[in-house]
């Protein structure tokens, strides 16, 4: 329909050019010998397994599904034999998983037929295929006002459009047409896209006259659902029925419908200066993370699963890749104290303040390590946390209220609207764990609410 002018939001931070960034190429990981496929994704309720230990399964076969067809079905990501159904650790959370040992053949099956001419099939049939393929497309399409495609990535060491869409551009456009047909005609489809991807923006503009294209500055946390919706539609997160999906889901829609291939894999990013094989890896769901690394020794390194700012530190890389995991970052631990760090010019220092030379030499790669700011010190009221906060809170004040048990005052100052982006903790020169303290305040309030209801 139109290309909107470049948008952004107040606050945020551009991490820019970092040491340890991945090489821009995709490698396909060899088929694993064994996968652990969780029966739950997106922290939504677990689905029951419909296979038993000893069953032979094919790649793409449904192995878990709920009776009401509400949660996405779970598929076998390799062919072989079910050897166990047991709990696995999912980086802090436990879920039941189906364990499959490979037969080395990668024999495929599907619970529906491929439809190369998707135009000829009904909206209901398209929705049925999208659901059974596990593409992550929501079931209640008739109630949706807006569908937003998230095509901007802003955390350090993240995916990008060239990697996900790149050579698959025609399939991406077809995937968008499939979604358009599957939706209610009144539903508007928007894409929030990195404004540097000019070629992709031009192709989308020429190919799809119904698509609302919103070029966005790639500033963290522009891709957070709350910030994305506010920037694109100028609405709060709960004000209309809007669903946000990512670009991989659009590509999956194409492969599911046109090629009859359910979702059994994904691309994840491997970044950080603690490893040499930095890049993008095509991997089957359920593959243990450790299988990606050639050097499996992670001693004296910090492994972070999920985005590096909001992800979780993880010492056990036997956890499987799930539909929710997009990245694995490995950083060398740095416990060294920097002598007189405040008088160093900081050519390689990533900082929110403009007082380091890195702000006038953006092309020099910046260091990103585990000892970014030295030791914990008292607040110096520099105000950086407030300037960076994308939802316009005063993190230092919320931190004071929470740590002094003044939760009513914290709530009045907007504590519950914090989106856990972690930027306040990152920019604080005194290394105060602002987000962590704010999160603990929110947890106490939620627990009190539950007890009183
Ligand atoms: S974690 Fe919360 S308070 Fe801190 S910057 Fe993000 S939204 Fe603001
Ligand atoms: S960034 Fe840290 S030091 Fe600066 S005002 Fe916020 S809490 Fe205080």
Using one digit for the tens of pLDDT, what is the confidence trace for 96-107?
A: 999 999 999 999
pLDDT at 334 > cutoff 70: no
Closest ligand, as measured to the CA of 438: 1
**Which ligand has the nearest atom to the CA of 396?**
2
Pick among 1.10.357, 3.90.550, 3.40.50, 3.30.70: CATH of 2-8+113-258: 3.40.50
Residue 132's Cβ-side half-sphere holds a number of Cα atoms within 13 Å equal to 18
Give me the architecture of the 33-102 domain, per CATH.
Beta Barrel (2.40)
Test site for ligand 1: of 11, 383, 395, 426, most ligand atoms within 8 A of the Cβ: 395
pLDDT of residue 46: 84
Using CA positions, which residue lies closest to atom 6 of ligand 1?
421
Quick: pLDDT tens for 154-183.
Answer: 999 889 999 999 889 999 999 999 999 999
Residue nearest to atom 6 of ligand 2 (CA): 385
Element (H, E) at 245: strand 242-246
Q: Whose CA is nearest to atom 8 of ligand 1?
A: 389
The per-residue DSSP string of 123-160 comes to HHHHHHHHHHTT----S-GGG-SEEEEEE---SSS---
Residue 227 pLDDT: 96
Distance of CA 419 from the midpoint of ligand 1 (Å): 6
Spatial neighbors of 87 by CB under 8 A, at least 6 apart, are 94, 95, 96, 97
Kindly state if the Cβ of 430 falls inside 6 Å of ligand 2.
yes
Q: Which of 438, 440, 443 to mutate to test the pocket of ligand 1 (most atoms within 8 A of CB)?
A: 438
This prediction has a pTM of 0.87
Taking the C-alpha atoms of residue 195 and residue 126, their distance in angstroms, rounded to an integer, is 31
Antiparallel, parallel or unpaired: β 2-3 and 212-216: parallel
Give 384 Cα–ligand 2 centroid separation in angstroms.
Answer: 6
Distance CA(96)–CA(108), nearest Å, equals 24
Q: What is the pLDDT of residues 129-160, one digit of tens each?
A: 888 888 777 666 667 889 999 999 999 988 99
Q: How far is CA 213 from CA 59, 158, 223, in A?
A: 36, 22, 15
Cβ of 380 closer than 6 Å to ligand 2, yes or no, is yes
Q: Give me the mean pLDDT over the 314-333 stretch.
A: 87
pLDDT, one tens digit per residue, over 218-266 is: 999 999 999 999 999 987 766 668 899 999 999 999 999 999 999 999 9
Domain coordinates of the chain in residue numbers? 2-8+113-258, 33-102, 373-452
Q: How far is the CA of 230 from the centre of ligand 2 (A)?
A: 26
CA 225, CA 196: separation in Å to the nearest integer? 20
Is the Cβ atom of 289 under 6 angstroms away from ligand 1? no
Token output for 239: 């004000």
The tokens for 145 are 């006002």
Of the candidates 157, 152, 317, 309, the one whose C-alpha atom is nearest the C-alpha of residue 246 is: 152
The residue ranking higher by pLDDT, 357 or 200, is: 200
| Mean pLDDT confidence for 427-443 | 93
């Amino acid at each position: 329909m139109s290309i909107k002018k470049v948008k952004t939001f107040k606050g945020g931070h551009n991490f820019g050019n970092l040491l340890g960034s991945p090489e821009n190429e995709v490698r396909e990981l060899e088929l694993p010998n064994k996968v652990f496929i969780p029966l739950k994704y997106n922290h939504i309720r677990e689905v029951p397994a419909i296979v038993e230990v000893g069953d032979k399964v094919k790649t793409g076969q449904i192995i878990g599904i709920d009776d009401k067809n509400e949660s996405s079905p779970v598929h076998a990501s390799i062919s072989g034999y079910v050897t166990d159904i047991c709990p696995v650790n999912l980086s802090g959370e436990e879920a039941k998983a189906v364990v499959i040992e490979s037969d080395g053949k990668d024999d495929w099956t599907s619970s529906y037929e491929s439809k190369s001419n998707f135009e000829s099939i009904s909206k209901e049939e398209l929705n049925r295929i999208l659901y059974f393929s596990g593409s992550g497309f929501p079931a209640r399409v008739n109630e949706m006002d807006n569908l937003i495609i998230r095509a901007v990535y802003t955390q350090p060491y993240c995916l990008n459009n060239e990697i996900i869409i790149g050579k698959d551009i025609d399939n991406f456009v077809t995937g968008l047409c499939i979604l358009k047909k599957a939706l209610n005609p009144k539903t508007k489809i928007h894409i929030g896209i990195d404004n540097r991807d000019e070629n992709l923006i031009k192709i989308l503009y020429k190919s799809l006259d119904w698509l609302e294209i919103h070029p966005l500055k790639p500033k963290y946390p522009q891709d957070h659902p709350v910030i994305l919706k506010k920037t694109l539609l100028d609405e709060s997160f709960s004000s209309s029925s809007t669903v946000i999906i990512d670009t991989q889901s659009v590509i999956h829609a194409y492969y599911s419908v046109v090629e009859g291939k359910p979702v059994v894999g994904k691309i994840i990013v491997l970044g950080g200066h603690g490893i040499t094989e930095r890049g993008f890896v095509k991997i089957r769901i359920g593959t243990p993370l450790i299988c990606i690394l050639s050097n499996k020794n992670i001693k004296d390194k910090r492994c972070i699963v999920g985005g590096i700012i909001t992800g979780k530190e993880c010492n056990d890389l036997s956890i499987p890749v799930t539909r929710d995991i997009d990245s694995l970052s490995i950083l060398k631990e740095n416990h060294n104290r920097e002598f007189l760090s405040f008088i160093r010019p900081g050519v390689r220092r990533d900082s929110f303040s403009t007082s380091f030379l890195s702000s006038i030499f953006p092309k020099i790669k910046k260091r990103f390590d585990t000892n970014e700011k030295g030791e914990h010190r008292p607040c110096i009221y520099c105000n950086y946390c407030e300037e960076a906060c994308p939802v316009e809170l005063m993190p230092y004040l919320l931190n004071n209220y929470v740590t002094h048990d003044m939760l009513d005052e914290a709530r009045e100052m907007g504590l519950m609207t914090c989106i856990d982006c972690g930027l306040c903790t990152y920019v604080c020169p005194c290394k105060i764990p602002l987000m962590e303290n704010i999160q603990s305040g929110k947890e106490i309030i939620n627990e009190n609410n539950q007890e009183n209801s």
